[in-house]
Amino acid sequence: MQKDAEGFYTPAPAKEDASESKTDKKDEKPGPSDNSDLISSTFEVTVTLADQQADVNSPLYSAKTFEELGLHQDLLKGIYEMGFSKPSKIQERALPLLLSNPPANMIGQSQSGTGKTAAFVLTMLSRIDYTNNTTQAICLAPSRELARQIMTVVNSMGKYTQVQTEYAIKDNLPRSATRITAHIVVGTPGTMTDLMRRKVIDVSGIKVFVLDEADNMLDQDGLGDQTLRVKNLLPRNQVQIVLFSATFPDHVRAFASKFAPNANKIELQKEELSVDNIRQFYMDCRDEEHKYDILISLYTLLTIGQSIIFCQRRDTADRISQRMTAEGHKVASLHGAKDAVDRDKIIDNFREGREKVLITTNVIARGIDILQVNMVVNYDLPLMSERGAGPSENSPPDIETYIHRIGRTGRFGRKGISINFVHDRKTWLQMEQIEQATGKKIMRIETNDLDEMEEKMKKALK
Ligand SMILES: Nc1ncnc2c1ncn2[C@@H]1O[C@H](COP(=O)(O)OP(=O)(O)OP(=O)(O)O)[C@@H](O)[C@H]1O
């Protein structure tokens, strides 16, 4: 049994696979493109981004260009086609260390939505010998949704290379698959272990091992055991280990340093953990039922852009979404008990804007990058799991999960709002602990003044 990202124990995953690959070399000289799809921003957002990338204190700032980071022309073309014009701080600082020879391990920390994915994806793509059809880089993430998202980035950035890719996520490869030859395999740890053990993945040529959301992947209360199993199956002394996350709590930091020995480290101070462009609010609800009423009264605001509502438990997510649907609201729900096909469909619908409100659990608290999400609601505050069981109402708040949850909005300099529901003294104190730990003020919004609420929120998003 293993614990998944939501903190539930589940049977070890089975197999899978799917793939995407790239081709088509073109010869034009790469350069920043004018009409970005990925940034797909209004003029206003583009101007704000440019301002922030020029502000020395912003995590989006860089003194350098992508050309100066020593990337191959083929990768520059992919990057510019994605609409990136300048590196962010973490990209500027991490990439030269990641690409230097001999390869050195890396423990990299940077706030949510500041471009860590590009740093590790470009490392994998840079280290591959494309004449050799064997697996050379693997990347693990805590959820299938995040693994799929990372793969999209690999294939976009690698569009002008010959990269071949494969998934190691549940129900993707047929059980009969005997050998993967893809250069890069991205997946979740249970399935990756299974494919390695059955020698479907030949580990002998692996040069890069990336853990996204590394603190979660290494946590003994999370996916730590499984991640260690993958590492133990890799050849010794030839693999560059690359760990990235927005958070590295103290109890994981020491283990991370052992897991990735002699690593270059890029660290954040406690007060830098969450970005300033996410405005945080709370609403004082009378009781559980009042939380539901307030959510309903927020519905119009939730659908101005897109919103994610986080619950602690799967059954709460199901219950709220069924009730809202029955009352005529359009919402989707996603959690780890749904089957793989449904999960993919639900997140894709949300990503493409066909659904505007997603009710979910911690399964997508980390990494998911959907630029249009401008509101996150903590219907239940995230709480620490007790060893061997889920959280109880007396558990302390889970600060890291809180930071990741609210980081689903406010991506790469955009504005976002988070709203916490508190409904009794315990939850109020838990929220206060979060406020202290993150050093960021959480402002009250009256629950009985919808106009004030709307005005405050619209102002926060301006
Ligand atoms: N240099 C850049 N220029 C413009 N946009 C960028 C740049 N780098 C990354 N982005 C965009 O910023 C968004 C956030 O990046 P990414 O998902 O890598 O963040 P992250 O640091 O991994 O966040 P999290 O901690 O939540 O996983 C993405 O939409 C990505 O395409």
**pLDDT digits 0-9 by tens, 57-95:** 788 877 689 999 989 999 999 999 999 999 999 999 999
Q: What is the pTM of this model?
A: 0.89
84 lines ligand 1 (CB under 6 A): yes
Hey, how many other C-beta atoms are within 10 angstroms of the C-beta on 457?
A: 20
62 lines ligand 1 (CB under 6 A): no
pLDDT reported for residue 58: 80
Q: Please name the amino acid found at residue 188.
A: T
Task: Report d(CA 296, CA 301) in Å as an integer.
Answer: 10
Q: 113 CA to middle of ligand 1, Å?
A: 5
pLDDT reported for residue 261: 97
Q: What average pLDDT score do residues 172-177 get? A: 85
Q: 68 CA to middle of ligand 1, Å?
A: 19
Q: Is the pLDDT of residue 4 over 50?
A: no
Per-residue pLDDT tens digits for 329-386: 999 999 999 999 999 999 999 999 999 999 999 999 999 999 999 999 999 999 998 7
Enter the DSSP assignment of 437.
Answer: H
Q: 25 CA to middle of ligand 1, Å?
A: 25
Q: Which of 411, 414, 418 most suits a substitution to test ligand 1, by most atoms within 8 Å of the C-beta?
A: 411
367 lines ligand 1 (CB under 6 A): yes
What residue owns the CA closest to ligand 1's atom 20?
113
Q: Which of 51, 412, 418 most suits a substitution to test ligand 1, by most atoms within 8 Å of the C-beta?
A: 412
CA dihedral 166→248→53→157, nearest 10 degrees, is -10
Instruction: Compute CA distances 346 → 13, 101, 194, 297, whole Å.
Output: 20, 42, 26, 24
Residue 117 has which token pair?
């994915």
Q: Which of 369, 377, 442 is nearest to 412 (CA)?
A: 369
pLDDT reported for residue 46: 58
Per-residue pLDDT tens digits for 192-245: 999 999 999 999 999 999 999 999 999 987 799 999 999 999 999 899 999 999
What residue owns the CA closest to ligand 1's atom 27?
367
Task: Report d(CA 107, CA 212) in Å as an integer.
Answer: 10
Query: Do residues 172 and 200 make contact, with C-beta atoms less than 8 angstroms apart?
Result: no
pLDDT reported for residue 79: 97
Task: Give, for 243, the enclosing helix (H) or strand (E).
Answer: strand 240-245
The strand ranges marked E within 353-436 are 357-360, 373-378, 416-422
Map residue 423 onto helix, strand or coil: coil
Average per-residue pLDDT for the chain: 88
Task: Report d(CA 119, CA 90) in Å as an integer.
Answer: 7
What residue owns the CA closest to ligand 1's atom 8?
115
Q: Is the pLDDT of residue 9 over 60?
A: no
Q: Please name the amino acid found at residue 216.
A: N
Q: Find all residues with CB under 8 Å of 169, minimum gap 6, and list them.
A: 13, 16, 144, 147, 148, 187, 188, 191, 340
pLDDT reported for residue 339: 94
Q: Please name the amino acid found at residue 136.
A: Q
State the ipTM, two decimals. Answer: 0.99
Map residue 266 onto helix, strand or coil: strand
pLDDT reported for residue 10: 35
Q: Please name the amino acid found at residue 186.
A: V
Instruction: Compute CA distances 262 → 124, 136, 162, 259, whole Å.
Output: 19, 21, 32, 10
Q: What average pLDDT score do residues 117-131 get? A: 98
Task: Report d(CA 360, CA 313) in Å as an integer.
Answer: 9
pLDDT reported for residue 222: 77
What residue owns the CA closest to ligand 1's atom 25?
112
Q: Is the pLDDT of residue 1 over 60?
A: no
Ligand 1 atom at shortest distance from the alpha carbon of 66: 1
pLDDT reported for residue 28: 44
Task: Report d(CA 45, CA 41) in Å as an integer.
Answer: 6
Q: What average pLDDT score do residues 156-160 get? A: 98
Q: 121 CA to middle of ligand 1, Å?
A: 11
Per-residue pLDDT tens digits for 417-439: 999 999 999 999 999 999 999 99
Q: 65 CA to middle of ligand 1, Å?
A: 16
